[in-house]
Amino acid sequence: MRIGELARRTGVSERALRYYEEQGLLRPARRPSGYREFAESDAETVRHIRTLLAAGLGTAVIAEVLPCMVADGEQIVSACADLTVELARERERISEEVEELLAARAILDDIIARPVSPLPYSGDRAPAC
């Protein structure tokens, strides 16, 4: 199938599909005319890619783990025992980022909760806000 058909089947833009190819996540055949020819299985691969992106993985990590992912109904699971270590490492990275974001939100909450105090006014220079 051509890229437009894959885009329609998966709900992913052609631009994103070309990006996935650039990143080595998809490997379509090429027709003599230069058009990409995707296999039926590429639709499932795109769904796996989307799931892994939604899980917070970057395309470089996805390129490493994608060959070990298989469908299990609506979900994907690892078919490689050693992949669990890599996924746990990524989960820890995401957890650290969540903690940093929560700390940033707490700082903003504190700033927002404080009463507004007038800016000092000196001479002919008016406050900026």
What digits encode the pLDDT tens for the residues 28-83? 999 999 889 999 999 999 999 999 999 999 999 999 999 999 888 888 988 888 88
Confidence of residue 125 (pLDDT cuts 50, 70, 90): low
Q: Contact 49/66 with Cβ under 8 angstroms?
A: yes
State residue 116's pLDDT score: 82
Domain membership flag for residue 124: no
Q: Is residue 123 part of a domain?
A: no
Residue ranges making up the domain that contains 78? 3-113
The mean of the pLDDT values for the chain is 91
Read off the CATH number of the domain in which 26 is found: 1.10.1660.10
Tell me, yes or no, whether 125 lies in a domain: no
58 lies in some domain: yes
Q: Please indicate, yes or no, if residue 128 is contained in any of the structural domains.
A: no
CA 10, CA 117: separation in Å to the nearest integer? 53
As for how many domains the chain has, the answer is 1
Three-class secondary structure assignment of 53-115: HHCCCCHHHHHHHHHHEEEECCEEEECCCCHHHHHHHHHHHHHHHHHHHHHHHHHHHHHHHCC
Residue 95 placed within a domain:
yes
